[in-house]
Structure 1
Amino acid sequence: MTNNNPVVSVIITTYNREKSLGRAIKSVLKQSYCNIELIVIDNGSTDGTRAVIQSYANSFKIKYIYQRDQNRYIYALNEGINNAEGKYIAVLDDDDFWCDEDKTKKQVSFLEKNTDYVLVGGGLIGIDQGGEEIARYLLPEKDADIKKTILISNTLAHTTVLYRKDAWEKAGGYDEGVDWGLWLRMGKEGKFYNMQEFFIVYTGHARGNPGYLEKKYTRWEWLKINIGLKKKHKSDYPGYRRALLFCWIRYFYSFLPFRLPLKRELWSLLFKIRKL
């Protein structure tokens, strides 16, 4: 793998994840696509995270950026991309990992051939923190189908996506809506596509939100952000009323115990509701 004139910049933000970060980094290094640069933003870790990064830096050049405020996930993402040299951007969470070694190669090929598309995503496999599989699913494939439901629920899995850096710039980068808000703005610049393949193993969290949201937002705050996104883009995408309903359903769903079998059944039901 070489970093000469990188085409793809991979951004990993991390905070006290010494036990899982190495797995995430390794999945990037195993990619068959060669033109990759890796940027790791450390949000003030106090454990052995730095040592994990250094152990891989001995054999692969990693841009390491340390910041003391661990609650600034959005800032960390934007900071990483501002330091990126790539034409394309991919984001990977520190407790997830890519399960397809050809992921980047397939996605770069697609975007190079289809210049009217701003991003390409894929499917994911969800596991709990004990490594037990919760679900696996593929998201809507074509642009029209993605945009038909994207106001109802995020139909692009953040850490499966590869997107154009210039589209990120035009959309104004990440804000409090994180990836969902970014997609809603990017969708006005170009087309979306989800490959019908599994690209990532995603670790679920007990509160139903990714770790970075647990640090920054309460459930109620995240609900208000979601409702705000829907109101802001209700004239850009269809399904505004259904989107509000689904938002409230998911809010109450998040209070269920993570390992409860009923919650797994409801997870499938939620996906059926958003496709109606």
Structure 2
Amino acid sequence: MDKPLVSVILPTHNRAESVAKAMESVWWQSYNNMELIIVNDGSTDTTGKIISKLSQENSKITIVNNKNNLGIVASLNKGISVAGGKYIARLDDDDIWCDDEKIEKQVIFLEKNPEYCLTGGGVIAIDRHGKEIARYLLPEKDEDIRNAILINNVFAHTTVVFRKDTFQKVGGYDGQFIFVEDWDLWLKMGSIGKFYNFQEFFVSYLDQEYDNPYHYRNYKIRRNVGLNIKLRKKYKDGYAHYSKAILFCWISYFYSFIIFRKELWPVIFQIRKLIFGSPPYKYLHNNESFKNEK
């Protein structure tokens, strides 16, 4: 089989301490027909020097420089606009691909199954010291993904590989859905093709929230409530469980204000299962304080 080009898009902003490791993990892959596009989003630390040095050592690296900090959506769209690959892979500047055959597995699957447009996989969450916190897998089959995707974002952004032509057909990432731009993209893509999640762990993900999980998670839930409702309304006719999705959004919002939520979690979790069914995530968790909460 001829190996189609895969374009890896890695936006970065002031991540001098981690961006080199993220870049290195790309070249650990068994799949060798790749290009790496780094979008330096107005970094003011030594990130620019680090990525410039690494690009001089590898002709497969392209750097796109934003003079000012444009944000994740503009940076992703800009990076993909110069990508030459048939497929697009995503990686964040503080994450590492931990399966050396990740890209190969996803490309083979997409080449054999042209009706599919998007693939993802499982995540190993780590803290800033590299200690494993948790592992989780997401729904595997298209039917199960569609059944859950309006309630939960069931693709981990830095695990995905998708078709560039599908991305272009749906208009790319939408700036009005900042913070949930990936979720919006998946929902758009689902109108064209099918979904698949490998039941394997593809990425080591730095969980920035681990040291204070409740405070930051509460903040995100409250910050995003309007966007989450808007997103679900946009796709209510294309996916199942719209009413449950809106209810889940509001319950999560009000739940974020509960002071003793950790102590109440066992009861809340059983109520949640009764209303929404079991969470779509398969967890192996070392921290019970936020098990099944994502």
Deviation beyond 3 Å, 4+ runs, structure 1: 217-221, 248-257, 260-267
Please report the TM-score for the alignment, with normalisation by the length of structure 2.
Answer: 0.81
Please say if 1:145 is aligned against 2:144. Answer: yes
**2:284 equivalent in structure 1:** none
User: How far is 1:226 from its partner?
Assistant: 1.0
The amino acid across from 1:112 in the alignment is: E
1:118 corresponding residue in structure 2:
117
Is 1:60–2:45 an aligned residue pair? no
Q: CA deviation at 1:248?
A: 3.5
After TM superposition, the structure 1 stretch with the greater mean CA deviation from structure 2, 175-184 or 246-255, is 246-255
Q: How far apart in 2 are the matches of 1:205 and 1:252?
A: 23
What is the rounded CA distance, in whole Å, between the counterparts of 2:245 and 2:289 in structure 1? 17
Q: Per-residue CA shift, 1:76-110, capped at 9, x if unaligned?
A: 00000000000000111100110011100111000
Q: Which residue of 2 aligns with 1:18?
A: 16
In the TM superposition, what is the alpha-carbon distance from 1:29 to its structure 2 partner?
A: 1.2
State the 1:69 CA deviation: 3.0
Q: Output one character per residue of 1:193-212: Cα deviation in whole Å (capped at 9) or x when no partner.
A: 00110000111223869x9x
Q: Give the Å deviation of 1:240.
A: 1.5
C-alpha contact (below 8 Å) 1:118/1:167 kept by paired residues: yes
User: For 1:37 and 1:200, how far apart are their aligned partners in 2?
Assistant: 19
Residue 156 of structure 1 is matched in structure 2 by 155
Overall identity of the aligned pairs, in %: 51
Residue 78 (1) aligns with residue 77 (2) = yes
Counterpart Cα distance in 2 of 1:124 and 1:73: 21
Query: C-alpha offsets along residues 48-80 of structure 1, whole Å, 9 cap, x if unaligned?
Result: 101211232132121111113324210000000
Q: Which residue of 2 aligns with 1:183?
A: 186
Change (3 A) 1:18 1:251: farther
| 1:27-106 equivalence runs, <5 A | 27-61=25-59, 62-106=61-105
Tell me how far apart the structure 2 counterparts of residues 126 and 203 of structure 1 sit (CA, whole Å).
6
Unpaired runs of 5+ residues, structure 1, are: 212-216, 272-276
Q: CA deviation at 1:221?
A: 4.1
TM-score normalized by the length of structure 1: 0.86
Distance across 2 between alignment mates of 1:106 and 1:247: 34
- Given that 1:181 and 1:229 are in contact with CA atoms closer than 8 Å, whether structure 2 keeps it comes out as yes
* Distance (whole Å) between structure 1 residues aligned to residue 255 and residue 200 of structure 2: 27
Shift in Å, 1:247: 2.3
- Secondary structure in structure 2 of the residue aligned to 1:9: strand
Q: How many residues align?
A: 259
Native 8 Å contact 1:129 1:205 kept in 2: yes
Q: Describe the SS at the equivalent of 2:291.
A: helix
Asked if the contact 1:124/1:202 (under 8 Å) is kept, the reply is yes
Which stretch of structure 1 is more off in the superposition, 236-245 or 148-157? 236-245
Match of 1:202 in 2: 205
Two-structure CA RMSD over aligned residues (Å): 2.7
Shift of 1:222: 2.0
Q: Distance in 2 between matches of 1:253 and 1:156?
A: 24
